[in-house]
Amino acid sequence: MTDFIKQAAHVKPDANQLRLLTETPFYAFIHFSPNTYTDLEWGTGEEDPLIFNPVNLDCDGWCKAIKSAGMKGVVITAKHHDGFCLWQTKFTSHSMKSSPYKDGKGDIVKELSDACRRHGLKFGFYLSPWDRNCKLYGTPEYNDYYRGQLTELLTGYGEIFHVWFDGACGEGPNGKKQVYDFDSYFELIHKYQPNATIFSDRGPIRWCGNESGDARYAEWAVVPSELCPYSRIQTGAGPFNGDLSYMYNTNKEIGSLSNIMYSKGLVFAPSEVDMSIRPGWFYHENEAPHSLDRLFETYLRSVGGNTTFILNIPPRPDGTFDPQDIERLRELGEKINKSFAIDLAKNCDIKISPFNGSETQCIAEIDFKKKAEIKYLDFSENIAEGQRIESFIVQRRDDGRWIDCFEGTTVGARRIVSLGSITTDGLRIFVTASRDTPDFGKISVY
Ligand code: FUL
């Protein structure tokens, strides 16, 4: 049993997962399609391409707004479920070719990827497997069609950082459903964009299980291979012979010991929290952006909860962002910058010592020397080597006595603990359980 727990503690990210988690954990989503003009969320596939005409398309403006929030990349719906393609694909005319924009010569994937490079943002795309327009949908030939489109996007627009596979699989125009050949789609990505991360229901970057920005209380990046078969198995089977076929992203407990004990093997597959700045993924004039508090809270619980965060901003029919969204993004960036501006632990002694000689329990103690007002503890594990910490208690020093002020579970790539507002001259992270000797990354206090 303990052997298996130790193995679990050493399941590691691959280079792409590590880069996304530690360098690019916050990035933008753009949902743009005929839905923007029809006020729908799911198009029928029968929309007239003549309606798609973003006369003021402003990809530079999008990039500026996205950067103002502190995001580091952009993922656009190159094709949503309605099948309309935002680039000059040779596989269908249900695309920019038939739009009045730039007399059918427009290519929004090109305009946005060029703008991203000018603004130092990474670029990625969403190519919906479900296609309600393509006549081939529901036949084996559709997989060739899809691979053809995927290849165009992987080879024609420079470096791609993230490819987003939607899990939706509805009926196509002929009433049939498609059997998606994900293995072959993944192969193309590995071939043409080996540094890209891949989001799908089943990993290697996995869905958090809801679309409202609700991160898990305990988020493990190390999960049963039964849930994420697209990541490499790095351990033997758990000590109990069990069946985890019921497990899905919507379950509350995924990587906890009580689950992984029944697994056939463990993989590294961190979760991505996805939500839109407004209720819908596409622009609807009657909707307004979520409050700054809600967005900031989601940031704290996702980027600060061992997941990445993809935040959608829907362009308006004319191809610009709504000024309310631009302002909300600016406020969000400002709030993040201000909240994490001065690291009070930077010049402090941080002493890490085992608790009563234990290998898997320890105390990290920060001595501020004088009283300081603090709001956030922001710390990490050395995630390149795996995820270990099961539970911790945060304590503050009050007249020389240690008082509990927070109890938490997982840490991983980054854990932001909101402490309210406390004044103290010392803080401790007491790791009460860990799968192997805790291996801290950075410890900061704001
Ligand atoms: C879902 C889709 O059906 C929505 O339209 C949206 O694209 C969202 C991000 O993923 O599964």
Q: How far is the CA of 328 from the centre of ligand 1 (A)?
A: 22
Cα separation, 391 vs 107, in Å, equals: 49
- Report the predicted TM-score, pTM, of the whole model to 2 decimal places: 0.97
What atom in ligand 1 is closest to the CA of residue 80? 7
Q: What's CA 270's distance to the chain center, in Å?
A: 8
Residue to probe by mutation, ligand 1, list 80, 281, 310, 311, most atoms within 8 Å of CB: 281
End-to-end CA distance of the chain: 39
User: What does the pLDDT read at residue 277?
Assistant: 98
**What residue owns the CA closest to ligand 1's atom 4?**
281
- Determine the Cα–Cα distance for residues 24 and 122; give it in Å rounded to an integer: 9
3-class secondary-structure state, position 337? helix
What's the CA-to-centroid distance between 167 and ligand 1, angstroms? 8
* Protein residue with least CA distance to atom 3, ligand 1: 168
- Over the stretch 271-299, which tens digit does the pLDDT of each residue have? 999 999 999 999 999 999 999 999 999 99
Nearest ligand 1 atom, CA 276: 9
- Please answer whether residues 253 and 259 qualify as being in contact, where contact means their C-beta atoms are separated by less than 8 angstroms: yes
The alpha carbon of 28 and the centre of ligand 1 are apart by a number of angstroms equal to 14
Distance from residue 21's CA to the centre of ligand 1 (Å): 22
| pLDDT given for residue 194 in this prediction | 98
CA of 391 to the centre of ligand 1 (A): 34
- Nearest ligand 1 atom to the CA of 282 is 5
Give the C-alpha separation, 41 to 1, whole Å: 48
Structure tokens at 90: 């040779």
Residue nearest to atom 1 of ligand 1 (CA): 166
Cα-to-centroid distance, 413 and ligand 1 (Å): 26
Strand-pair category, 197-200 with 162-164: parallel
The 10s digit of each residue's pLDDT in 164-194 is 999 899 999 989 999 999 999 999 999 999 9
Q: Which atom of ligand 1 is nearest to the CA of 41?
A: 5
Q: What 3-state DSSP class applies to 408?
A: strand
Judge residue 22's burial from the number of C-beta atoms within 10 Å of its C-beta, 0-12 exposed, 13-18 middle, 19 or more buried: middle
Residue 2: its pLDDT value, please? 86
The Å distance, Cα 166 to ligand 1 centre, comes to 6
pLDDT digits (tens, 9 = 90+) for 316-374: 999 999 999 999 999 999 999 999 999 999 999 899 999 999 999 999 999 999 999 99
Neighbouring C-alpha atoms within 13 Å toward the C-beta of 174:
10
Q: Reduced to 3 states, what is the DSSP secondary structure of residue 37?
A: helix
Q: How many CB atoms lie within 10 A of CB 1?
A: 10
Closest ligand 1 atom, CA of 126?
Answer: 7
State residue 67's pLDDT score: 98
Low-confidence ranges of the chain (pLDDT < 50): none
* Closest ligand 1 atom to Cα of 166: 11
Residue nearest to atom 10 of ligand 1 (CA): 166
What are the structure tokens assigned to 352, written together? 């890490």
Q: Is the dihedral of CA 9, 14, 17, 20 positive or negative?
A: positive
Q: Which atom of ligand 1 is nearest to the CA of 31?
A: 7
For ligand 1, which residues put their CB under 6 angstroms from it? 41, 166, 168, 274, 281
Length of the chain: 446
φ, ψ for residue 297 (rounded to 5)? -60, -40
DSSP 252-274: S-SSSHHHHTT-S-EEE--EEEE
Probe ligand 1: pick from 31, 131, 166, max atoms within 8 Å of CB? 166
Q: Enter the DSSP assignment of 107.
A: -
Report how far ligand 1's centroid is from the alpha carbon of 340 (Å). 32
From the CA of 274, give the closest atom in ligand 1: 9
Closest to 304 measured CA to CA, from 202, 355, 379, 389: 379
Distance of CA 241 from the midpoint of ligand 1 (Å): 36
